[in-house]
């Protein structure tokens, strides 16, 4: 592989990692901080991607809109729409405990995907929405480096917001809910309100990830929002990186995407008659990796650490 | 301070609390005792808003608060602890306490993003308050320890500490002494007494340790089979026949045929807990 080929491969790979890292950060708010098991990441990811696509593409007879709005409005719209969809879902499912919430969210993600698959007027059904411009293409052109830079800037902002959220009293209440809900009620906090907020904030971040995906790839269809890529991999990333640790969520996205891409090299060496099984073998390998992590290092590569207490630096040297 | 009036709760066919009435006087330390299964914790759960009563009324400081959720009652000055400590295991002792103060600015996520200097200033205030509480309970050396690593007794102190992070009117303590060693128990009793005398907290305490009850509580309310069977100062309670029978198992021993002697022995052993043990044991 020549240098330019390798470089463009790396740029594309880091862009994908950046999008996954955003999803992983969204899951960290829900699972890492609050302990909510959302197995419907794909649903909010899809809502964000379709919202951005409909808002920013030029007018089409095949789907709703497009409204030809700028990239940034598309992102904001994606965040808002995922939050709006997550709010009623959160209110209905919030009383469900862990495994029941998991089952409910799987169902909800499938419903969302099927709506996009079947409602032609909205999303052009299985034919999908093409022609989504690269981020800021009108201003900075369609250079892949620009796309990567935009994704990394968005990721940095999301990381900062998540980290601030984690160390704030808000995040402290969420972590306390994860540890013991009744104890939080006894401390005078409205647990339901905080749980809904965490669910909505996490879903909004996932929607933002979806919007980035739509602009990076340029074409979306319901196929892209199957649970394997959009939910399962994100979970492995967060658990591998370290649930509860925002930096871990990003590191996990990087490492697991490298491994996932690496499995393609392995399955590529299989004899041609196994070609159809190859994709399943990749999933199997990631599944085994997840088991190994859960047994050998359940806290992940970067375990959760208590936020340094505000004002602790001054005074006593600790 | 609290009037409990005809409070009832059934779980399926089991009438856990049956038309229970008594009151907790302002500035007093009221003890709530009774054999296992008498319905004490269920009663606490209803009073503190963790369980909806089937029937009856709870009046807090003149206001009907029946059926209000626990987090609302907290803001009305009614705070509780749990029989089994409900600490936040994977958070430090300091963080466990910092969760408690009501209406923190930084509990609003948007304000934590946009008004950090304000949040920060408040965090520093809350932190000082934590240090005061840890000093009071003399567990300041544990501030940065994960709460899950504390001993059972230390967790009980942490539970009590959480009630001190706000300014409650009434504190319901569910078996603060259970599983706590003698030395720590002395510390706990002293803390409760000081909070009562120096800060005017009203307490209602469920406790099986009769030494602790007679040391701290006046009056003492006795529950058996879901209702109040006696109420008064500890020395009257000790002499009360009905109370002794409740602990002895009521008329059961008479109906147990050839197990009669065994039942008698068990009953005598239980009754012994009603009489004060020698101090310093």
Hey, of A186, A190, A197, which one would you mutate to test binding to chain B, going by the most B CBs within 10 A of its CB? A186
Contact residues, chain A, for B122 at CB < 8 Å: 169
Tell me the mean pLDDT in the region B117-138: 93
- How close A38 gets to chain B, by Cα (Å)? 21
Asked if B125 has any chain A CB less than 8 Å from its own CB, the reply is no
For chain B, where do the domains classified as CATH 3.40.50.300 start and end?
2-87+162-240
* pLDDT, chain A, mean: 91
Quick check: A189 and B107 CB within 8 A?
A: yes
Quick check: A309 and B69 CB within 8 A?
A: no
Query: Is residue A316's pLDDT more than 80?
Result: no
Shortest CA distance from A188: residue in chain B: B71
Identify the DSSP state of A316: S
- Distance (Å, rounded) from C-alpha B124 to C-alpha B133? 14
- Distance (Å, rounded) from C-alpha B118 to C-alpha A75? 30
- Which residue in the set A164, A176, A309 is minimally distant from B112, CB to CB? A164
Residue A292: both structure tokens together: 């190994």
Query: Is residue B52's pLDDT more than 60?
Result: yes
SS3 B249: coil
Task: Calculate the dihedral angle through the C-alpha atoms of A197, A202, A204, A210, rounding to the nearest 10 degrees.
Answer: -170
Confidence of residue B267 (pLDDT cuts 50, 70, 90): low
Tell me the mean pLDDT in the region B115-123: 94
SS3 A141: coil
Query: Is residue A207's pLDDT more than 90?
Result: yes
Task: Calculate the dihedral angle through the C-alpha atoms of A304, A305, A311, A315, rounding to the nearest 10 degrees.
Answer: 180
Can you give the pTM of this predicted structure? 0.89
Report which of A193, A211, A196 is spatially closest to residue A23, judged by C-alpha positions. Answer: A211
- The set of long-range contacts for A100-108, using a CB threshold of 8 Å and a minimum separation of 24, is A101/A36, A101/A37, A101/A38, A102/A37, A102/A38, A102/A39, A103/A39, A104/A40, A105/A37, A105/A38, A105/A39, A105/A40, A105/A43, A106/A39, A106/A40, A106/A227, A107/A40, A108/A40, A108/A43
Shortest CA distance from A177: residue in chain B: B88
**Higher-confidence position of A94 and A126:** A126
Contact residues, chain A, for B144 at CB < 8 Å: 306, 318
Beta bridge partners of B14: B11
Strand B2-11 relative to strand B14-24, pairing: antiparallel
- Distance (Å, rounded) from C-alpha B129 to C-alpha B135? 10
Asked if A315 has any chain B CB less than 8 Å from its own CB, the reply is no
- Distance (Å, rounded) from C-alpha A152 to C-alpha A130? 24
- How close B101 gets to chain A, by Cα (Å)? 8
Task: Calculate the dihedral angle through the C-alpha atoms of B188, B233, B1, B103, rounding to the nearest 10 degrees.
Answer: 10
- Distance (Å, rounded) from C-alpha A163 to C-alpha A161? 6
Distance of CA A66 to the CA centre of its chain: 24
Tell me the mean pLDDT in the region A173-186: 95
- How close A183 gets to chain B, by Cα (Å)? 5
Shortest CA distance from A160: residue in chain B: B113
pLDDT in tens, A131-171: 998 888 777 777 899 999 999 999 999 999 999 999 999 99
* pLDDT, chain B, mean: 87
Is-contact A37 A173, C-beta < 8 A?
no
Asked if A185 has any chain B CB less than 8 Å from its own CB, the reply is yes
Identify the DSSP state of B52: -
Who contacts B172 (Cβ-Cβ below 8 Å, separation ≥6)? B44, B47, B48, B78, B79, B80, B81, B203, B204, B205, B206
Residue A287: both structure tokens together: 């599944």
- Distance (Å, rounded) from C-alpha B70 to C-alpha A258? 48
Range in A62-66, A84-88, A122-126 with the lowest mean pLDDT: A62-66
Query: Is residue A128's pLDDT more than 90?
Result: yes
Identify the DSSP state of B218: B
**Higher-confidence position of B152 and A254:** A254
Contact residues, chain B, for A29 at CB < 8 Å: none
Tell me the mean pLDDT in the region B30-49: 93
Looking at residue B271, what is its pLDDT?
A: 55
In degrees and rounded to multiples of 5, residue A271 shows phi and psi of: -60, 150
Quick check: B74 and A164 CB within 8 A?
A: no
Residue B150: both structure tokens together: 């504390």
Report which of A39, A30, A5, A66 is spatially closest to residue A214, judged by C-alpha positions. Answer: A66
Residue A191: both structure tokens together: 């647990």
- Distance (Å, rounded) from C-alpha B126 to C-alpha B123? 5
Identify the DSSP state of B202: E
Query: Is residue B95's pLDDT more than 80?
Result: yes
pLDDT in tens, A22-71: 999 999 999 999 999 999 999 999 999 999 999 999 888 889 988 989 99
- How close A199 gets to chain B, by Cα (Å)? 13
- Which residue in the set A186, A190, A318 is minimally distant from B86, CB to CB? A186
Confidence of residue B177 (pLDDT cuts 50, 70, 90): confident
Query: Is residue A311's pLDDT more than 60?
Result: no
CATH of B2-87+162-240, one of 3.40.50.300, 2.60.200.30, 1.10.630.10, 3.40.640.10: 3.40.50.300
SS3 per-residue string spanning B61-99: CCEECCCCCHHHHHHCCEEECCCCCCCCCCCEHHHHHHC
- Which residue in the set A161, A170, A312 is minimally distant from B107, CB to CB? A170
Separation of first and last alpha carbons in chain B = 35
Range in A41-45, A88-92, B185-189, B226-230 with the lowest mean pLDDT: B185-189
Helix (H) or strand (E) holding A49: helix A41-56
Percent of chain A with pLDDT over 70: 97
Residue B20: both structure tokens together: 């229970």
Q: For residue A218, is it left (φ>0), alpha (ψ between -120 and 50) or beta?
A: left
Identify the DSSP state of B257: G
Query: Is residue A281's pLDDT more than 80?
Result: yes
Instruction: List the domain boundaries for chain A.
Output: 12-227
Looking at residue B229, what is its pLDDT?
A: 92
Query: Is residue B269's pLDDT more than 70?
Result: no
Asked if B236 has any chain A CB less than 8 Å from its own CB, the reply is no
Identify the DSSP state of B17: E
Confidence of residue B184 (pLDDT cuts 50, 70, 90): confident
Confidence of residue B281 (pLDDT cuts 50, 70, 90): very low
- Which residue in the set A170, A176, A187 is minimally distant from B108, CB to CB? A170
Tokens 């879901």 map to which residue?
B226
Looking at residue A314, what is its pLDDT?
A: 44
Confidence of residue B277 (pLDDT cuts 50, 70, 90): very low
């Amino acid at each position: 592989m020549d240098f330019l080929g390798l470089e463009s491969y790396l740029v594309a790979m880091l862009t994908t990692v950046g999008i996954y890292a955003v999803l992983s950060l969204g899951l960290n708010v829900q699972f890492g901080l609050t302990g909510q098991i959302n197995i419907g990441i794909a649903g909010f990811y899809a809502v964000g991607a379709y919202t951005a696509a409909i808002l920013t593409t030029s007018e089409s007879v095949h789907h709703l809109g497009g409204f030809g709005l700028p990239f940034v409005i598309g992102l904001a719209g994606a965040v808002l729409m995922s939050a709006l969809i997550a709010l009623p879902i959160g209110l209905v499912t919030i009383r469900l405990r862990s495994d029941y919430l998991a089952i409910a969210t799987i169902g909800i993600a499938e419903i969302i995907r099927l709506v996009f698959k079947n409602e032609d007027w909205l999303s052009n059904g299985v034919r999908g929405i093409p022609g989504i411009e690269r981020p800021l293409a009108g201003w900075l052109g369609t250079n892949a480096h620009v796309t990567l830079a935009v994704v990394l800037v968005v990721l940095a902002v999301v990381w900062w917001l998540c980290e601030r959220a984690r160390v704030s009293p808000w995040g402290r209440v969420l972590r306390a809910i994860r540890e013991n809900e009744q104890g939080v009620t006894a401390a005078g906090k409205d647990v339901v309100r905080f749980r809904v907020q965490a669910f909505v904030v996490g879903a909004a971040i996932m929607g933002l990830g979806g919007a980035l995906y739509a602009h990076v790839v340029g074409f979306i269809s319901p196929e892209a929002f199957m649970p394997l890529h959009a939910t399962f991999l994100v979970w492995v990333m967060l658990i591998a990186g370290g649930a509860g640790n925002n930096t871990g969520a990003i590191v996990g996205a990087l490492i697991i995407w490298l491994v996932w891409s690496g499995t393609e090299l392995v399955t590529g060496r299989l004899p041609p008659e196994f070609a159809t099984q190859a994709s399943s073998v990749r999933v199997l390998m990631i599944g085994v990796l997840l088991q190994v992590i859960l047994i050998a290092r359940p806290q992940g590569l970067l375990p959760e650490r208590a936020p340094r207490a505000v004002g602790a630096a001054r005074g006593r040297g600790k | 301070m609290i009037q409990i009036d005809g409070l009832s709760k059934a779980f399926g066919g089991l009438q856990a609390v049956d038309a229970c009435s008594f009151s907790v006087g302002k500035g007093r330390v009221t003890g709530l005792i009774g054999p296992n299964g008498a319905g004490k914790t269920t009663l606490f759960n209803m009073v503190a808003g963790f369980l909806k009563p089937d029937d009856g009324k709870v009046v807090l400081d003149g206001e009907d608060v029946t059926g209000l959720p626990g987090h609302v009652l907290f803001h009305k000055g009614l705070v509780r602890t749990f029989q089994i400590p409900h600490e936040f295991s994977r958070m430090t002792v300091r963080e466990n306490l910092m969760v408690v103060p009501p209406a923190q600015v930084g509990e609003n996520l948007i304000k934590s993003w946009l008004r950090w200097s304000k949040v920060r200033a408040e965090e520093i205030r809350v932190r000082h308050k934590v240090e005061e509480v840890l000093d009071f309970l003399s567990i300041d050396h544990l501030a940065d320890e994960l709460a899950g690593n504390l001993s059972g007794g230390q967790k009980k102190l942490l539970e009590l500490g959480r009630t001190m992070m706000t300014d409650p009117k009434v504190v319901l303590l569910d078996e603060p002494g259970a599983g706590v060693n003698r030395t720590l128990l002395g510390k706990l009793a002293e803390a409760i007494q000081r909070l009562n005398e120096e800060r005017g907290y009203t307490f209602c305490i469920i406790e099986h340790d009769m030494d602790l009850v007679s040391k701290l509580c006046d009056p003492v309310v006795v529950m058996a089979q879901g209702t109040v069977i006696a109420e008064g100062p500890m020395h009257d309670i000790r002499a009360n026949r009905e109370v002794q029978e409740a602990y002895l198992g009521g008329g059961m021993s008479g109906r147990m045929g050839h197990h009669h002697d065994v039942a008698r022995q068990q009953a005598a052993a239980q009754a012994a807990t009603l009489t004060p043990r020698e101090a310093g044991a």
